[in-house]
Structure 1
Amino acid sequence: MKGTNVLKGAGIGLALLLAANTQARTAELGAKDEPIKLAMLEWTGAHVSTRIAGQLLEKIGYKVEYVTAGNFPQFSGLADGSLSASVEIWLNNVGDIYPKVLAEKKIEDIGKLDLETREGWIYPKFMEKVCPGLPDWTALTKPECVQALSTPETAPNGRFLDYPADWGSRAATILADNNMPYTAVPAGSEGALVAELESAEAAKSPLVMMFWGPHYALAENDVGWIKMPPCKEQGNEHCITPPDVDKIVWSGFGAKWPAAYAFLKAFKMDATEQQKMMLAVDKDGKDLDAVVKEWVDKNEPAWKPWVDAAKG
């Protein structure tokens, strides 16, 4: 009987140990029954990055919600915790609220997404015949180039196709800084930007526009990147440089969801892979979740280190 009691005691000890390990794992996940709310921004690249992060967070054991958010308004949501995280923040276009709430420690920058980026002014390559001297920016100031780009709404200025108004942009400031005879006209949406680029290419109609990469449209249209004018003043509003892309979380994120925090710090996005998925969604009309799931299913070696980081 004494031996039986010893075995019982050992069994109880083992059960307690297993329970403790389970509790430790639960504690590491944190508030796993409360959804992590990820910001879904306007552009497809951000949709891809966010859905990959979301599907992998679900694999770890979390609930995830996707919340449509504007590029500037998202920072209010991150500051008050109504949004949990945003995984693709282009730091060249964050408005005035981002530095304010970052300084107040209401949000936390958890590092680079490692997305290789480009941003600036582009044109369809045939424009080099319309505006001799391109890609140098001074070619745009020549009268024949301004006239070719002029429209009834901008005459006598040329028309510069800018980002949608709610994205924010530096183009109008840079045009003014350099006394360039152009009027920046906001596009209605990302889709409108791409449609104009494709239309200009097809009809050989003059176009200069603000754009960025990675983007599927760059794989399907022959474009040049303008060598930008010099910065009149150093600063975000007056210069365009390849932007850093970071991951931002609500300040209480790490304490509430420790494993998710470790995962998002490790999470990266390859520009070439993202662009392939963007092409599948935007051009081929495939379902975003299905495209992302296919990538996740086929690329465990890429994402396993991120998930392992969450396990500690």
Structure 2
Amino acid sequence: MTKILKASLSALAVTAVAMSAQAAELGAADEPIKLALNEWTGQHVTTHVAGEMLKAAGYEVEYVTAGMMNQFQAIADGDIHATLEIWSSNVSDQYAVLKDDGKLEELSDLGLNAREGIAYPAHVADLCPGLPAWEALKDCAINFATAETLPAGRLVDYPADWGTPGADRMVGLDLPFKAVPAGSEGALIAELRASTEKKSPLLITFWQPHWAMSAYDVKFVELPAGEDACFTDPAWGPNPNAINDCDFSASRIFKAAWPGLKDKWPAAHEILVNYQLSVEAQQPMMGAVDVDGDSVEDVVAEWMAANEGAWKPVVDAATK
């Protein structure tokens, strides 16, 4: 774990977006602040770093397992107080409704340089000549077929409760692929590992930051640029009969909270607003968990100890 984490120690991974001129009150420090844990390792890392910052400020923290799509009502109800890694490309319509109704507060961007798309391990280019151009998939889909998808190729999409962005692209671009949801993030990684070891075909919906992007030499398919018109106007793009005939829109990763957080725990609210995490910090920690088998708690504790100069000013600005 130490070897993996050293690569990130020089990165200013947690910074203050804005420092307060005057420290905020702790508020109800004897009552736990409940942070949502979603289904992927990076989110656990992000959340535990935030949790340790809150503990350093003098707060009690509880971690609550909550699905990405169903956490927002719990936050609006005050049963969960914050969620720290929301991807704009994968957020439910309910989020916007609750936010517009004043039942959720959007805090700020997390600071991760993110990308999502249709991807493949590098060796697959030999099995589908013409990659990374998306048009190549029209002619080699049969190479990706399985018993459950024949005659179409198989796309391993995100887990069902993350939405269906991969399936949307297959329909939008009229590609002969059937999207099959993965059971979890771990199932997606298992697909990448098996494909790399066996040099077998694989098309997958994936994202960065993620340690697997480097570990399995994952490449993105080059799709038409994801402009706003692509998602609303069928006439835009290569398929005149469908929307979503383009790449994913640029992903924004942000944080949200129960609106009562700022009044009940003022300093915690300030810390979470100002909290940022970089790809350079998050990705090695994810690798320490998913590759080396270390616990999230141990990995984050080692990172916090080695990077006090990066995160402590954010806590101090809110509390001293």
- TM-score with structure 2 length normalisation? 0.86
Query: Shift in Å at residue 311 of structure 1?
Result: 2.2
Would the aligned equivalents of 1:117 and 1:244 in 2 still touch at CA under 8 Å?
yes
Alignment length, in residue pairs? 285
Q: Which amino acid aligns with 2:253?
A: V
- Percent identical across equivalent pairs? 47
Partner of 2:85: 88
Could you tell me how far apart the structure 1 residues matched to 2:173 and 2:216 are? 28
List gaps (5 residues or longer) in structure 2. 1-21, 233-242
Would the aligned equivalents of 1:120 and 1:241 in 2 still touch at CA under 8 Å?
no
Bigger shift: 172-181 or 68-77? 172-181
Map 1:113-262; keep pairs closer than 5 Å.
Answer: 113-142=110-139, 145-229=140-224, 233-234=230-231, 238=244, 240-262=248-270
Q: Is 1:112 aligned to 2:109, yes or no?
A: yes
Query: Shift in Å at residue 230 of structure 1?
Result: 5.3
Q: Is 1:304 aligned to 2:312, yes or no?
A: yes
Could you tell me how far apart the structure 2 residues matched to 1:125 and 1:49 are? 28
The alignment partner of 1:161 has SS state of strand
Query: Shift in Å at residue 229 of structure 1?
Result: 3.7
The alignment partner of 2:146 has SS state of coil
Q: Which amino acid aligns with 2:316?
A: D
Greater relative contact order (Cα < 8 A, sep 6+): 2
Could you tell me how far apart the structure 2 residues matched to 1:198 and 1:69 are? 27
Partner of 2:32: 35
Would the aligned equivalents of 2:157 and 2:165 in 1 still touch at CA under 8 Å?
no
Partner of 2:71: 74
1:158-199 superposed Cα distances (whole Å, 9 cap, x missing partner): 101101111112111221112111100001111110011111
Could you tell me how far apart the structure 1 residues matched to 2:57 and 2:218 are? 41
The alignment partner of 1:172 has SS state of helix
1:48-88 superposed Cα distances (whole Å, 9 cap, x missing partner): 01001111101101110000000010111111110000111
Could you tell me how far apart the structure 1 residues matched to 2:69 and 2:157 are? 17
Q: Which amino acid aligns with 1:115?
A: L
Could you tell me how far apart the structure 2 residues matched to 1:178 and 1:292 are? 41
Would the aligned equivalents of 1:159 and 1:185 in 2 still touch at CA under 8 Å?
yes
- TM-score with structure 1 length normalisation? 0.88
The alignment partner of 2:90 has SS state of coil
Could you tell me how far apart the structure 1 residues matched to 2:49 and 2:165 are? 30
Q: Which amino acid aligns with 2:212?
A: A
Would the aligned equivalents of 2:195 and 2:201 in 1 still touch at CA under 8 Å?
yes
Could you tell me how far apart the structure 2 residues matched to 1:120 and 1:197 are? 15
List gaps (5 residues or longer) in structure 1. 1-23
The alignment partner of 2:106 has SS state of strand
Could you tell me how far apart the structure 2 residues matched to 1:179 and 1:139 are? 13
Please report the RMSD computed on the Cα atoms of aligned residues, expressed in angstroms.
1.7
Q: Which amino acid aligns with 1:182?
A: F
* Larger CA Rg, structure 1 vs 2: 1
User: Deviation above 4 Å: which 4+ runs of structure 1?
Assistant: none
Partner of 2:44: 47
Would the aligned equivalents of 1:32 and 1:63 in 2 still touch at CA under 8 Å?
yes
Would the aligned equivalents of 1:266 and 1:309 in 2 still touch at CA under 8 Å?
no
